Structure 1
């Protein structure tokens, strides 16, 4: 399983536009083959900071997402909403049986 954390520092003046744009990215990404989970969380300690948390079946699924039309369109627009480059961290993991 591939786990991706993408942190967005959003321009306060454009936060509502960012949230509108990201809704369609989330919806389309959840429909992709190999997606396990795809959602965004607001940082409760840092104003205007959000983290996208993605779970993918494998690297092929994550790579397919990164080249998808909805993802590349969002990336092209994202710089207009942000105050810093997106910080991306990716991990390889497996589900634990508790």
Structure 2
């Protein structure tokens, strides 16, 4: 299982447009083969910060996602919304049985 955290620091002037343009990415990504979960959240402590928490079945699913039309289209425009470079962290893990 691959877990990805992507943090977006958004220019407040462009926040509404960012939120509009990210919706197709979220919807399409959730429907991809190999997607386990795809969450998009607003940071409650930092006004213009958002985070995606993605869980993928394996690296093949991540690679497929990264080459998808909805992903490449969004990434091509993402820099125009950011105040600092996009921060992406990826982890490999398995669910724990508690």
Tell me the TM-score normalised to structure 2 length.
0.97
Tell me the equivalent position of 1:81: 81
1: CA distance, partners of 2:20 / 2:39: 14
Matches within 5 A, 1:2-41: 2-41=2-41
Unmatched 5+ residue regions in structure 2?
Answer: none
2: CA distance, partners of 1:47 / 1:31: 29
2: CA distance, partners of 1:76 / 1:85: 13
The Cα of 1:46 is off from its aligned counterpart by 1.0
- SS for the counterpart of 1:38 is strand
The Cα of 1:85 is off from its aligned counterpart by 1.0
Aligned length: 98
The Cα of 1:44 is off from its aligned counterpart by 0.9
Unmatched 5+ residue regions in structure 1?
Answer: none
Q: Which stretches of structure 1, 4 residues or longer, exceed 2 Å deviation after superposition?
A: none
- Aligned-pair Cα RMSD in Å: 0.6
2: CA distance, partners of 1:62 / 1:39: 15
